[in-house]
């Protein structure tokens, strides 16, 4: 043992596994917490300091890098390609009270009327909407209870991906990522979307009970009881919260960022709109609101959401940002206006060659 140690440098013995310092181009090992070779960008499993230690100045201008300018350009392309978005006559909203920053935590209902005055539900017969809505009831109501994914539900996932990939918006997104050498074929892209969004991981007691799609688009509402999991963090959940149909932190909802889901639950009387703290600068759809509301008795202090976009628009933008800027603010441009999206990867389990599932994604509202 003494002889062996003489051949090990301090770097070999003491390099932090969550840093790229001294590890650039180190061969992939599934035992590593994060990675420092060129492939880590493709698999979204780089250490946080990868760019500081392992990429030369000016790398962002190389062919395969996704530069900030690229994101501004492709997001405008996706915005223009959202042909299934709501027209101004399809939705009428009633934002009512605008809360100040120090009022968003008050849990006071300052808007007596629902947020949605009218939605043209003919929108929901469009293939991407219809296939999206079918997915919303595919999840257990309780965190910590293993999902029993049926053949029918797997078929619904495949059908949603098939329908969105028919759209110009998702074809443009794939073409962009293909050009940036993230995917070699559309088939590879679709297979990765299915794992990234629908692959199951545990937010509770080790059961395969959650996915990125469920957290972001479907969410959960309270069923009562105690135990299980509740508090949402980038890498997991804290035990001890009430078991609820939404990710809940200390009696507050997190996740749940989709306008269609909100409308359908508000129509059923399950969601109660309180106020808004942000109304985006767009004069058509999609727009962005920062919302305060209660859901089955639990409160959402700021729930940012696109309003009136197609399912493929939201799905595509979140995918773009998760691939290009996982764990960081992703700065985009929509109709000439700036917008930022935050995504986080699930850190505890991976798929494929160390790829990470999407944990959450949302619009950053002021």
- List the catalytic residues: 215, 257, 300
Q: What's the CA gap between 94 and 271, in Å, rounded?
A: 15
The answer to whether the CB of 164 falls within 8 A of the CB of 315 is yes
Residue in the structure block whose two tokens are 């849990």: 107
Tokens of 198: 């629908």
Query: 213 pairs with which residues across the strands?
Result: none
The answer to whether the CB of 263 falls within 8 A of the CB of 69 is no
The answer to whether the CB of 29 falls within 8 A of the CB of 37 is no
Classify residue 132 as exposed, middle or buried by CB count within 10 Å of its CB (0-12, 13-18, 19+): buried
Contacts of 96 (CB under 8 A, 6+ apart): 110, 111, 112, 113, 115, 273, 275, 276
The answer to whether the CB of 336 falls within 8 A of the CB of 72 is no
Collapsing DSSP to helix, strand or coil, 243 comes out as coil
The answer to whether the CB of 329 falls within 8 A of the CB of 76 is no
Buried b (16+ CB within 10 A) or exposed e, 75-110: beebbebbebbbeeeebebeeebebeeebbeeeeee
User: E-assigned strands of the chain?
Assistant: 91-93, 116-119, 229-232, 237-239, 247-249, 252-254, 271-279, 287-295, 298-307, 329-334, 337-351, 355-364
Q: Count other Cβ atoms within 10 Å, centred on residue 203.
A: 27
């Amino acid at each position: 043992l003494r002889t062996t140690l003489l051949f090990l440098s301090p770097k070999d013995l003491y390099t932090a596994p969550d840093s790229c310092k001294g590890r650039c181009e180190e061969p992939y090992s599934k035992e590593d917490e994060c990675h420092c070779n060129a492939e880590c960008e493709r698999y979204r499993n780089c250490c946080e300091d990868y760019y500081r230690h392992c990429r030369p100045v000016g790398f962002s201008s190389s062919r395969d890098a996704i530069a900030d300018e690229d994101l501004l350009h492709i997001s405008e392309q996706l915005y223009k390609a959202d042909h299934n978005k709501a027209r101004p006559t399809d939705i009428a909203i009633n934002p009512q009270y605008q809360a100040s920053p120090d009022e968003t935590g008050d849990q006071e209902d300052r808007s007596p009327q629902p947020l949605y005055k009218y939605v043209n539900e003919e929108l929901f017969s469009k293939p991407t909407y219809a296939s999206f809505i079918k997915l919303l009831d595919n999840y257990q109501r309780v965190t910590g209870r293993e999902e029993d994914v049926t053949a029918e539900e797997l078929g619904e996932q495949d059908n949603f991906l098939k329908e969105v990939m028919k759209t110009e918006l998702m074809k443009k997104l794939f073409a962009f990522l293909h050009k940036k050498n993230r995917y070699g074929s559309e088939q590879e892209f679709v297979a990765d979307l299915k794992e990234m969004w629908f692959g199951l991981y545990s937010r509770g007691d080790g059961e395969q009970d959650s996915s990125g799609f469920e957290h972001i688009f479907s969410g959960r509402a309270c069923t009562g009881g105690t135990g299980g999991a509740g508090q949402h963090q980038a890498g997991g959940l804290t035990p001890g919260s009430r078991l609820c149909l939404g990710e809940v932190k200390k009696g507050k909802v997190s996740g749940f960022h989709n306008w269609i889901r909100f409308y359908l639950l508000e129509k059923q009387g399950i969601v109660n709109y309180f106020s808004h703290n942000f109304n985006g600068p767009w004069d058509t759809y999609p727009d962005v609101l920062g919302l305060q509301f209660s859901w089955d008795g639990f409160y959402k202090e700021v729930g940012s959401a696109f309003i009136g976009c197609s399912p493929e628009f939201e799905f595509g933008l979140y995918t773009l940002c998760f691939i290009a800027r996982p764990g960081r603010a992703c700065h985009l441009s929509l109709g000439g206006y700036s917008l930022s999206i935050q995504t986080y990867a699930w850190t505890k389990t991976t798929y494929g060659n160390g790829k990470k599932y999407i944990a959450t994604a949302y619009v950053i509202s002021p």
